[in-house]
Amino acid sequence: MPAKINRNTSTSRSTSSKKGQSRTYPERWDLTHVAEDPIQRFEILAGEIETKVAQFESARTRLSPTMEASHFHSLLKLSEDIAAASSRLSAYAYLWFSENTKDLAARSFKTKVEERLTALQNRLVFFDLWWQSVDANNSRRLMTGVGTLQYHLETIRRFQPHTLSEPEEKIVNIKNITGRTAVHSLYDVVTNAFTFTLTVKGKRKTMSREELTPYLRHAEGRLREAAYRELYRVYADQHDLLGEIYKALVNDWKAENLQLRRFSSPIATRNLGNDIPDKAVTSLLRVCQKNAGIFQQYFRIKARLCKIKPMSRYHIYAPHRTEQKSYRYQDAVRMVLDAYRGFSPQLAEMAEQVVREGHIDARTRPGKIGGAYCYSIVPGMTPYVLLNFTGEARDIATMAHELGHAVHGMQAARHSIFTFHSTLPLAETASVFGERILSDALMTQERDTKVKQGLLLNQLDDIYATVLRQAYFVQFENQAHEMIAQGATVKDLAQTYLAEVRQQFGKGMKVPEEFQWEWLTIPHIFASPFYCYAYSFGNLLVLALYRMYQKEGATFVPKYLDLLSTGGSEAPQTILAKVGVDMTSEDFWQSGFDTIREMVDQLEQTL
């Protein structure tokens, strides 16, 4: 995922290194490692890429199915060099923009980079089109000896039925800069400028969404309810604008992927990109819907434990009475690194490298992009991580999650820039596993039953948010894309969303009307249609993998590290088959929910 920018380091006290020594880690990132003065040297850096592109173009007349394999391999190496240089420049632009989306210079630079790189990328379109036309025998011959680049080349050929002519592909690329990308940037700019007001301890406060979010999980029910109402009031006030942005993005998706590229359905586009069979995604979503009752049971138990009556959607993230503690950033880093170290010193060292080298931007600030992400730029470069750390226990889990993404990319650094990133569903494996490592470490250390109860609540809250909630987002998207094609209004979409949420929680929990606007607050629905099932996929997969670890102990660790080191160099089905997973099987996905049910039953026994 994309990343961010910073040049300062701030001080905060004490966290321990692997040798037990006290040290302080930077809390803002240093972007000088990405590219050398890219703002001032933009024309030089872009010119260097352009020179390589021209060199690549000069080989066009020599492309032939019968060409020498050595010449073909040289072209692949040149394409890797172009991709790596482009990735560095693009990453810097996005990281800087992420630091402060209101910074006009950063926004201008990001646009300039996107436009220049798109123009250069257009000059390379011919290669993919030619490669898709090569006959099967010669394609196998040319792929001999390319190593893990073979999967990258196979992926290009996989898109052949949906590829347009060269002029059409160039038009689509250009259109996306002033079309889809620009419209999505507008969503970011508008929503990141939102401010919210909340009365706390008798004082009216104005805050950003990141500052408002902790109140959605506040210990005081009145504040939780007020925070949700304020969140959706602000988004609802702009529902016309945000809704039209969404409809424009959906119509663009339809026009390109269904009408031009002839995909069978809107979600099929994402599935092919992920190299996940449609059957596997259908099985996953069906099993998620079948198991909504597990979480309905969980929230009834939570209501009793947290003394919430009546239970409503306002209160599903209510904290346990043992967890109203605020954590210092440096202590949070220590907790995450210690948890990783207990599983694998190798992964812990990689995670510490990210924080030690100043590749994390930790604190929330006005204008800073919301949420969290990890940006693995090129193989061999330490990834960058953006957080919005406010001191909540949940922020520590987020850190463990994003550092999981980072160590995944670092573990796969031996691969090409084209194959070290996993496809989306497997890209969540290491991140979610990192959260499980942290949770398990904290559960093991605790002796107090009430504290363990709180940790179980935290885990189940997170599993709900990253499994069932994400699956229902995708179910809504499936309906929304069809409805918009038939002329639905924004209010039609809102009512459909509300009906989905109410079905998800069942008759035992009230879902107030304002939750009809929740979908407007979910960036992935705007930026990456159908992205969210990757979270459901990754989390249920990790529940199965973590159960293997609990059974096998230390002998599981090398197998897990090997899985991570594969990166995106093989098909997801192939990678998972090595650990005995059939992703098309409903029984496999159900096994994940069986684990969740065991956790819910364990919690119920503490009543």
Q: Which residues pair with 535 in a beta bridge?
A: none
Closest to 420 measured CA to CA, from 408, 404, 432: 408
CA-CA distance, 385 to 391, in Å (whole number)? 17
More confident residue, 428 or 388: 388
Cα torsion 442, 214, 188, 463: sign:
positive
Instruction: Return all residues near 493 (Cβ < 8 A) that are at least 6 apart.
Output: 243, 246, 480, 483, 484, 519
pLDDT band at 452 (very low <50, low <70, confident <90, very high): confident
Please give the average per-residue pLDDT across 278-306, as a whole number.
96
Reported as a single tens digit per residue, the pLDDT across 350-402 is 999 999 999 999 999 989 998 899 999 999 999 999 999 998 888 998 999 99
Reported as a single tens digit per residue, the pLDDT across 329-354 is 999 999 999 999 999 999 999 999 99
Which one of 3.40.50.1970, 1.10.1370.20, 3.30.360.10, 2.40.50.140 gives the CATH number of domain 263-322+448-607? 1.10.1370.20
| Residue 254 DSSP one-character state | I
Closest to 276 measured CA to CA, from 90, 400, 494, 428: 428
Ordered alpha helix ranges (H), 306-392: 329-343, 345-356
Instruction: Dig out the tokens for 602 from the structure.
Output: 């364990």
CA-CA distance, 329 to 166, in Å (whole number)? 50
pLDDT band at 222 (very low <50, low <70, confident <90, very high): very high
What is the model's pTM?
0.79
Cis omega before residue 310 (within 30°)? yes
Q: Which residue has the tokens 């159900």?
A: 590
- Specify the domain boundaries for CATH 1.20.140.70 within the chain: 34-163
Please say whether the structural domain 34-163 has been given the CATH code 1.20.140.70. yes
What's the chain's Rg over C-alpha atoms? Answer: 24
Residue 22 main-chain phi, psi, to 5 deg: -75, 135
Closest to 60 measured CA to CA, from 13, 130, 9, 111: 130
| Residue 318 DSSP one-character state | P
Give pLDDT, residue 605.
87
More confident residue, 233 or 543: 233
Residue 363 main-chain phi, psi, to 5 deg: -90, 150
CA-CA distance, 397 to 440, in Å (whole number)? 12
Query: Of all residues in the chain, what percent carry a pLDDT higher than 90?
Result: 81
- Specify the domain boundaries for CATH 1.10.1370.20 within the chain: 263-322+448-607
CB 599 within 8 A of CB 297: no
Give pLDDT, residue 580.
80
Please give the average per-residue pLDDT across 107-118, as a whole number.
96
Give pLDDT, residue 10.
30
